[in-house]
Structure 1
């Protein structure tokens, strides 16, 4: 092995023993990417939320949740590379891990940054060609999405009690734009919002994500009385918020979602 230097998406420099043979991933979408890059043996630890692919989820050691890492379990696995994310992981825990292990951190708010991450991870783990193929295919699929001439005004719910929505400067907001929606929120990140305030923004469509909060049919019924003229539907949160190789499937999902909504939308 040789020592090699890389720069992560926060501009931090990390040194790793190249090639890494004991990798821990702290982010579900990046975990799926690693397996799609063929690193079945090299990935030794994942979080309890890294559910794809299912066969690997069953086999791999779980090192806690994305924001509740079990540092002792991580130490026991003795990783030579940890892959994390600025938003999804807890800052204090990541800072503690950087004192003991090489930690590469992504920071993703747009499709372009996701594509960069995929290629950079490919370089990290010596699967550069495969990573470039995945990134290029994702880009081509998104380029083939037909832009909407009339974006639907949408509100994207991620949490309940309190209600929290995806605002500007988020990866979800970028996905909304690609999929034919205009985010009714002007606030950044993930603001709490009361339903009376949201009523004034008059969303045509309300999207209830399946994650991180598991919205169900009953929540559609609860919200419909506040928004009788809006079309309220459940959406696959992985398609809007996972920024790894799952993006290969997102454009087709977005296209079908937009078509179905424009057919059913009560407001033309």
Structure 2
């Protein structure tokens, strides 16, 4: 028997390891694959891109924000994995009538490790998740104390949007010595290039997802005009935002990124 309390403060108890799992969260789907639960996973969203072959082998139950509840019901699951931010409260409430739903909330690397361990408890893979979590934190702990850079991390255009201090991306930035200039804001604030220019940033990071800044130079042209003396860096969004086994690679990405970023300006905060 496995028992864990989720982000809604609901305790979920399973009498036996689940054999029909539906995952509504890409990072957690990738985690289930990493744990060897190929046969147990029966349904995923269309955004669950890893492992790639599951898109053709598993039942697609809609998107993260638009779950087809009846498709999930027809799969007769015995565990549904959801997330507070990635899935809607309405979908989660409807799914509560279908099967046990475990809702996670991940805003820090430490919370990601706890999520990994909890999934291990629920799926009878605790030994594997303990090893995975240990390897992840060991790599993060090996990161050097980088000189602090004042940074803004952009996730969207028209309007421009950044990340606040209560997000997973914000926490990962801190591990890389990137001081989020919008860390005192909540969620995903909107901004203009002119407002950003007033923040005295050392670097602007433009993520490859969810908005594909990497696809066209024109996507950053107005930023370069507003901040002519500030580096505008395109970054891979996955190391900053995926919180499953992909975290194994995040520390090395942060090291590589810092090698190509500028040193802090003399006027920057220490």
Change (3 A) 1:266 1:7: closer
Superposed displacement of residue 243, structure 1: 0.8
Q: Of 127, 131, 156, which aligns to 2:129?
A: 131
Equivalent residue number for residue 244 of structure 1: 244
Q: How many angstroms apart in 2 are the aligned matches of 1:99 and 1:13? A: 16
Which runs of no fewer than 5 residues in structure 1 stay unpaired? Answer: none
Number of the residue aligned with 1:52: 50
Deviations 1:40-98 (A, max 9, x none): 11111111111011122332211111111111111111111000100111111101111
The alignment partner of 2:188 has SS state of coil
TM-score by length of 1: 0.94
Q: Does 1:12 align with 2:10?
A: yes
- Please state how far the C-alpha of 1:218 moved relative to its aligned partner: 2.6
TM-aligned CA deviation for residue 167 of structure 1? 1.0
Contact 2:135 2:248 in 1 (8 A): yes
Deviation at 1:267, TM superposition (A): 5.2
- Which residue of structure 2 lines up, in the alignment, with residue 226 of structure 1? 226
Q: Does 1:174 align with 2:171?
A: yes
1:201 correspondence with 2:199: yes
Residue 100 of structure 1: how far off its partner (Å) = 2.2
Matched position secondary structure for 1:175:
helix
Q: Tell me, yes or no, if structure 1 residue 100 matches structure 2 residue 95.
A: no
> Matched residues in 1 for 2:2 and 2:205: separation?
44
Counterpart Cα distance in 2 of 1:176 and 1:132: 24
Return closer, same or farther for 1:17/1:215 CA change in 2, 3 Å cut-off: farther
Report the equivalent of 1:214.
212
* Equivalent in the alignment of 2:37: 39
3-state SS in 1 of match to 2:254:
helix
Deviates further, 208-217 or 90-99:
208-217
Structure 1 residue 11: deviation in Å?
2.0
User: Matched residues in 1 for 2:57 and 2:240: separation?
Assistant: 27
RMSD: 1.5
Out of 198-207 and 110-119, give the one that drifted further. 198-207
2:181 aligned to which of 184, 190, 202: 184
**Partner SS for 1:54:** coil
TM superposition score normalised by structure 2: 0.93
8 Å CA contact retained: 2:209, 2:237: yes
1:165 pairs with 2:165: no
Contact 1:229 1:266 in 2 (8 A): no
Matched with 1:74 is 72
SS of residue matched to 1:117: helix
Is the 1:159–1:212 contact (alpha carbons within 8 Å) kept by the matching residues of 2?
yes
